[in-house]
Structure 1
Amino acid sequence: MPRASFDQLSAFVAVAEQGSFSKAARTLNKDRSTLHRQVSELEIDWGIELFERSGKFPRLTEQGASLVRPSKFIIYQMNALETATDSLFQGEQTSLSICHDASISSSAIKKIDQEIRKRHPMTTINWLSRSRDIALNHLIDGSADFSITLNQGAVLPDTGVSFINLGYPAFDYYVHRNSPLAKSKNLSLAEVQLHRQFVLEDLQQSQFGQQTLISSKISSASDPSVLLDLLETEGFSLLPKHLLGVREDEFVSLDVDFAVQSGHFGYVLLYPASAITKPLQQDCIDAVSNWFKQVCAPEKASY
């Protein structure tokens, strides 16, 4: 049998952190006498002195100081357990699987994941890199809850799948800043076609990707980081600006005469049409939507 109760541990840690029984009592919304009793009983149960009380304020003994951290850990674990049981009582899922194609950056996934977990710390979130077709199969067979992917331009969603339009991030033709192409101005389509074009595999399989293959030499890559590394040596690639991430300063937009500005291509969030929107699912939708709102927000013009 444990010799310490949760209330006793909470009282001990609160006094240790606040340095005063009165402040700790206000923090825990309890009577000062109650905390005195709980800490005293804990000292008796453990057979050690946790605080020196000879001065105006209680001071941790060496033994007491060594027990603050493990006590805090137990309190954290208990609170996490309570949160988990509350979620289970409310019928919340214990895991969430989100598919995404290669054009969604790792920084985007990190931010979305963090926003969801702020509200659902006990939910396991699985991020699955999948092409649109495979993701659709996952949604239909129930092995995935959501998919973030390029909009195929269909008027109606796929059978058994609902969708939310997320917005239209900017895409552009990019080259490495050390590439000879970076210094060229007003390039014609014929001039660009002579150079190697790198294409993300997921983009190449989409309708949009097929329409943007302009080079006579096409090379595909399934991993965005590999594609960016390959661009250091030669060629160009049509990519969403957000995919450059922390390497944005390494690349510049290709100056061409057949496009006066960056293009914009739509993204959608897909989910099973039969899905019931519970707090977890709605918070996932909100987190994904919020990230796209930031990415798609127009940049402020400077004059």
Structure 2
Amino acid sequence: MAGATVEDTEGGPGAAVVLLRDVRVRRHTTDRLILDGIDWTVRPGEHWALLGANGAGKTTLLRLLGALMHPTTGSVEVLGSRLGRVDVRDLRARVGHVTAAQRVPGELTAHAVVLTGHTGTVQPLWRMYDDEVRRRAHRLLAELDVEELTDRPYEVCSGGQRARLLIARALMADPALLLLDEPFNALDLPSREDLVEAVHRLAEGRPRLATVTVTHHLEELSPAVGHALLLREGRILARGPVAEVLTDARVTACYGRDITVTRRDGRWAAYSRRRTEHPAP
């Protein structure tokens, strides 16, 4: 039902990767409240889905987690550092951020694209990449199952291949938090499934890594996703274990449309029930 909230599990081991308390973000040009009263904890090894309709505040929330902006009020702690009390440039280097809108020179080879993750630059800084750094880039290409692309220019890689290269790039800094901002955008079915599998293997192979995935489609969530947060008009509608959050009633309330949610073999799907017209008596 609307307004229902599943509480975060606060008893997990280890310090929080993300800790938000009573966070509000107000757009200064219009005084519009973008996020309102956000409380959220993400712990090491947790994998979250961040869901909501367009305009719900997902992008703003992700920008807070990536230390790309500050809240208007409330506190945001990322990797143990509170925004406003830390050099955000250092903090950003410890958070992996993947978005399809990321600028990448098309002529760079796949290996060079991954290398730029070491320096956090668009263009390679070749003098900064010693043999060990180059070997690490090769290992990440193999981990994301795109090692055969090593010498292929980025511009001729498919959308799914590019998404996996950007994830490998983000992992060069060995982040404790990985933000995936609609990484499946415009992928065909085989590419989507390849990426889902790659993200699942990544979660299994890195037990301390926490991830937050923004998506519009439940089908894009890997079986590793164990928590979900639903946003509606800047407020949290529900958060907690996926089985408690991704229900027909809560997803319907989130999107304002009659939604049926199903789960099979750890994968999710959602569809809108057909609206039928009832003739007047």
Higher strand share: 2
TM-score (norm 2): 0.24
Structure number with larger C-alpha Rg: 1
Query: Relative contact order (C-alpha < 8 Å, sep 6+): which is higher?
Result: 2
Q: TM-score, normalised by structure 1?
A: 0.23
